[in-house]
Structure 1
C-alpha cells in the first residue's frame, strides 16, 4: 500500500548493465482508472472497479471522492464506491493542485447537483493544459460559469443537449463532456473527440450505467439517462507501463515476456521498436515477448493523438535513441515543455540538442551513472531506463513522480534481474 506522504523524497539506486529477463504482469491503467472512479458521482448506486493500480493518483482520487461524501473501500486492486452519500459539490484547491485529473469531477457534479465549484488547475511541469474546451461544452449545455477566488463556480438548472466540435483534441475534455451529457436524455453530438483507449474504457462504463453512446470516427452521439445505474467494471491494462517495459527489454538486450496487456493498444510502440531493431513476438491478444536485437537503429518520432505515437512514451524512446547507431529526431507535438529530461540525460553522457519542439539525438557508445532528478512522471521512467544500461551507479531522485503512475516499478524490474533499490530520504 502506498502512503500519500511518505514517498515524496525517496530515491532509487540503480546498478546498470544487467539484461532484463523473465515475465512481468502489467497493472491496470492509471489514466483509465481515474475517470472511471470519478464517473461514480453520476449515480447513487454502488459501483465496483477492478484492476485498479495502487498509485498516489489513485489514492488522491479516493481522497477526493471521500471529501465529496462517498464511501470508498480499496482492497487488492478492487475499489468499491458507495456514492449515495455524496453531498458536496466543491473540489478544494489542496486536492486539485496535487492531481490535475481532479477537474474531471466538474461534469459529474454539474450533472448530479446542477452546481460544481472546482479549484482552477495549475500548470504542470510538462506544460500548461487549458480547460477552455471543457468550459465551452458546459456553457453549450446551459451552465453559467464564474471564476471567483481561484475557483471555477458553475451552475446549471438543466442539462441541455449539445452539438459541439472540439477545437483541439482533448482527452479530459472529451471525458468531462461525455460524463455530463450521459445525464441528458436528448441527443448530443461531440465532434473531434479523443479516441485514446482510456476514453473508450470510460465510454464502456457509461454504457453500463445506461447511456447510449455511438462513436464513429471522431464523432460521438450521446443519448443519456436521468437515472444512471451503478456498474461493475475491470479496467484495461496500462499501455504506457507496457511500453516502458518493452523499451526496457530491448534496451538492455534482454528477453522479457509481458502478460496482461492489450496488444491492440500498442500498435505505434510496437512499430517503432521493430524499426529500431527489436525482436517482438505477439503470443496472444494479451501477451507478447520482447528481445534485444543487434544494436539500436536511429528513429524519427513525432508524437500525436491516439492512434499515433503517444507523448507518454516520448521520454522512454529518447533513451533508446541515446544509444542508437546514428542520429535520431523526436518531435513533441502534444505538450510544449516535455523535454525536461534532456538535461538529466545529458548528465549521463547523452548527446542531445533541442530546437523548439524537436530534439536531435546523436547516439553515443554508452551512458554513465550519475545523480539525476525526476521532473515529471514519464521523465522519471526514462531516467530509470537510462540507469539500467548506464555504466556504474545511477541515483534517481524525487521519485514521487514515479509513484503517481507506476505500481511497484522497482519491484517489477528487480523481478526481471535488475539491480535497483528504493531508499528513504537522506537525513540532512
Structure 2
C-alpha cells in the first residue's frame, strides 16, 4: 500500500504528453482474441488495469511480450475460454472478453466483473446483445456461461448507449454470419478506435461514432499493428490541473475534438485555451462557478466529473454538478470537505460553494477518478496533503507523480505506515 505526499500551492508549468487511452487499449487487447497470430499495439502506458488484462490473456494461452510502450500479443495457442474469478473481480473491463471469446470459440465462462465502486453497472445489456445474435446465456452460482452453435447477424437495440455493451456486441458480431445492426450505440471515440482496429483485421464495420453501427460478418480475421488513440480523460485531468494551480501548460498528443465539452466548460470557468495541431495550451484565469451535467458522449464525461468538482471548490460563487451516469460518483466529496471544501450532496446532485483556498489533509482515494481529483486538490491546497490508496490512481494514470514532478509539482510516492 502506497500514498502520495503533496506540498501544495505550486503552479504547474511546461509541456506534458498524453499517453495512449486505457479505455481504448483494454477492448483492443480483448479483440486480439478474435484471430490467431501476432498483433502489435503501440503507445501502451504502464497501468494496473492493463497488467490485469495481460494476466488474463496469458492465462487463456496468449504469449505477451512488452517492449517499452509496445505490446506484442501472440494468440496462436489460445485454448481456454474460462476467465479466473480472482482476475474478473479486479477489473470491470474484463467483461470485454465475453464478445471476442464467444465470437471466436462460440463459448465463454466468467464471473461477474469488479472494478471501482462507483455504482451499479449491470451487464444485462451485454447479455441481451449477445442473445440477439444467437447466444444462449445462463447465469448460475455467480458465473455467466454463454454458448452458441452459430452466431447470426441480428438487430440490437440498446435501452441505454452503454460503451462496454456496444464494444462487446461489435466484437461478437464480426465473425457472425450475416449483418448486425446496433442501434442507440454509444458514440465515444474509443469505440471508433476499436472499429479502426477491427477493420484493419479485416472486419467490415461502419458507423462507429454515430448511434447506428453496422457489422457485416466475415469468416476470418488477421493479426495487425495499431497505435491506440490518446487518452482524453488523462488530457482533461491535466487541463483541470493547470486551471486549478493557476498554471500554464502545453498538452501534447491530444485530439481537441474529443474534448470540446470539457474545453467549453473550462473556458466558462475562466481558463484561456488555445488549440493547436495535436496539442492545447491552457493558461489559468480567475475561476468562477458553473453548472454542469454529466452525459454520454459527446456530453461532459462522467470520468472528469470528480476532477472538475475539485476545481469548482476554489471557484468564486456557487456551482451545481448533476451526475447522470453513476449514482455513487460523489465518494470523493467527504475527502474534499476534510480539505475545507464546502459541498452538499443531494442524491445525484452536488452543490459547491467556492472557498478562497483548500488546506492540506490526510485523505484516501476511493476510486480511480476520485483519486485523481484528490491529487489536484492537494496541488492547489495550502500545506501538505497525504493521499492514501494510490493503487486506485495507478489503474488509470501512468506514473502520475513523475509527470506532475516534471511540471514543477512537489509530490512524492511513499510506502504507507
**Structure 1: 5+ residue runs without aligned partners?**
1-8
Corresponding position: 1:96 with 2:88: yes
The DSSP-based 3-state class of the residue aligned with 1:87 is coil
User: Per-residue deviation at 1:337?
Assistant: 0.6
> In the alignment, is the contact (CA less than 8 A) between 2:91 and 2:114 conserved in 1?
no
Quick one: distance in 2 between partners of 1:283 and 1:190? 35
Maintained 8 Å contact 1:123/1:129: no
Give the structure 2 partner of residue 181 of structure 1: 173
Alignment partners' CA distance in 2, 1:177 and 1:388: 41
Match of 1:305 among 283, 286, 296: 296
| 1:110 corresponds to | 102
Task: Give 1:148 deviation, angstroms.
Answer: 2.6
Query: For residue 77 of structure 2, what is the aligned residue in structure 1?
Result: 85
Displacement of 1:335 after TM fit? 0.3
Is the 8 Å Cα contact of residues 137 and 162 (structure 1) preserved in structure 2? no
RMSD: 1.0
Of the three residues 260, 265, 269, the one matched with 2:258 is: 265
Aligned partner of residue 128 in structure 1, secondary structure: coil
Aligned partner of residue 327 in structure 2, secondary structure = coil
**C-alpha contact 1:42 1:109 (8 A) present in aligned 2:** yes
Q: 1:393 aligns with which of 384, 400, 417?
A: 384
Choose which of 189, 194, 197 in structure 2 pairs with 1:202: 194
1:376 and 2:367 are equivalent in the alignment: yes
Deviations 1:373-425 (A, max 9, x none): 00000000000000001010000000000100000110010000000000012
Tell whether the 8 Å contact from 2:173 to 2:180 is kept in structure 1 after alignment. Answer: yes
CA deviation after TM superposition for structure 1 residue 122, in Å: 4.2
- 1:168 Cα deviation after fit: 0.7
Q: Assess if the C-alpha contact under 8 Å between 1:119 and 1:152 holds in 2.
A: yes
Residues 210 and 224 in structure 1, CA contact (< 8 A), matched pair in contact too: no
1:417 aligns with 2:404: no
Q: Which residue of 1 aligns with 2:235?
A: 242
Q: Secondary structure at the match of 1:178?
A: helix
The structural deviation recorded for 1:121 is 2.2
Q: Taking structure 2 as the reference length, what is the TM-score of the superposition? A: 0.98
* Match status 1:42 vs 2:34: yes
Mapped partners of 1:164, 1:333: distance in 2: 23
- Please name the residue that 1:19 is paired with: 11
Q: How far apart are the structure 2 equivalents of 1:318 and 1:64?
A: 35
Q: CA deviation at 1:185?
A: 3.6
Show the counterpart of 2:153.
161
Deviation at 1:123, TM superposition (A): 7.0
Matched, 1:353 2:341: no
Aligned partner of 1:330 in structure 2 is 321
Q: Where in structure 2 are the equivalents of 1:114-133 lying within 5 Å?
A: 114-122=106-114, 124-133=116-125
**Distance in 2, Cα, partners of 1:169 & 1:292:** 34
1:85 match: secondary structure: coil
Aligned in 2, Cα 1:406/1:365: closer, same or farther, shift over 3 Å?
A: same
Report the alpha carbon displacement of residue 289 of structure 1 after superposing the two structures with TM: 0.5
Runs of 4+ in structure 1 off by over 4 angstroms are none
1:367 partnered with 2:394: no
Residue 40 of structure 1 aligns to a residue in which SS? helix
Partners of 1:167 and 1:124 lie apart in 2 by: 23
Q: Distance in 1 between matches of 2:187 and 2:258?
A: 11
- Mapped contact 2:82–2:109 kept (Cα < 8 A): yes
Q: How many residues align?
A: 416
